[in-house]
Structure 1
Amino acid sequence: MSGSDYRINQEIRAREVRLIVEEAGEKGPTSRNVGIVPLREALGMATERGLDLVEVAPEANPPVCKVMDFGKFQYEQKRKEKRAKKNQVKIEVKEIQLKPKTDDYHLGISLKRARKWLEEGKKVKVRLRFRGREITHSHIGRERLEGVKDELSDVSVVEQMPNMEGRDMLMVLAPIAEKK
């Protein structure tokens, strides 16, 4: 739930609520379960403390409401979301395209590029495209992809084994996780 998804104060529709009061303690804020109280009494307790009554679990029976500073709560939620987004790992997928008849020189160039990407922590998708009657000899393509896998085995692991998708045979290589 984001900050705007919560009902606060007069927006709460239930007659009675399960009330939780947040109190400042020596070791930080602590929550105390007051129990089931009428909505008016809960709103009174919130205004008496100069805080908001926030419905945190509307699907519960009766709904769970918390007495807290809603502005501070929203601020903390946004900070948590930013921190989580910052710590997310974005994995980029690069692609090399080959054909069954790609000569060794051009294959070497593609492998060199793939090795560099894998060392940078990126995944590599190897696409082997069949044209015309080449598709009848898919075993040649599979051997070619096995050769690519063997050549890059020191820096990668096979995430997706070679499989056919239309006229293409695809294999995905992922970098080997650093040993700690």
Structure 2
Amino acid sequence: MKKLIATLAAVALAAMMSGCASTPQEKSANKLLEMQAVKTKYLKEKIPAGMGIGVSKDEQIAMEKADQNARVDLARELDVRMKALTKNFKEDVGGDVAEHFQSASKAIIDTRMNGATLTDVQIETTEDGQFKVYGVMTLGTDLVNEYLKSLQNSDAISEAQKNKIRAAADKAYAEIDAATAK
């Protein structure tokens, strides 16, 4: 019985020492990888997402920096998707519809981006007493359906054109998925 207790104590001590052995850089890298995995999970679910990090002695300022950096990353992600959709619309539907879609989508995105907040947040303190905030911001929007809904009440396009737009969007989303899967 004493040997069992001594062995358990030794294992517990070794576990504590190995936990303390990781450097602040390793811990920070692990948090970064963890939050990157969260962002990737959202992207695989076809939810646009951006990740940001903010560091400051003031926790609120660190949070605001992370929010701003995530917003910029999210905007980049949306820009890539918009370019692919617009490219396909020009090829499959026509330039006028593509341009109208692009301007309508930008208005939708701008409205949604203004209301977007960090959905996944982790905070750590650095050795020098600063707060380091990691955050992922998502934007749940189906641009094509929102665009079609905005046209629903008007006679701007026919049902055939709407179907053509949906087909072009499906093709563009498939191309985006194929490009990001590599």
Do the two structures share a fold, i.e. TM-score over 0.5? Answer: no
Whichever structure has more strand as a proportion of its residues is: 1
- Higher relative contact order, chain-length normalized (CA < 8 Å, sep 6+): 2
Higher Cα radius of gyration:
1
Instruction: State TM-score, norm by structure 2.
Output: 0.30
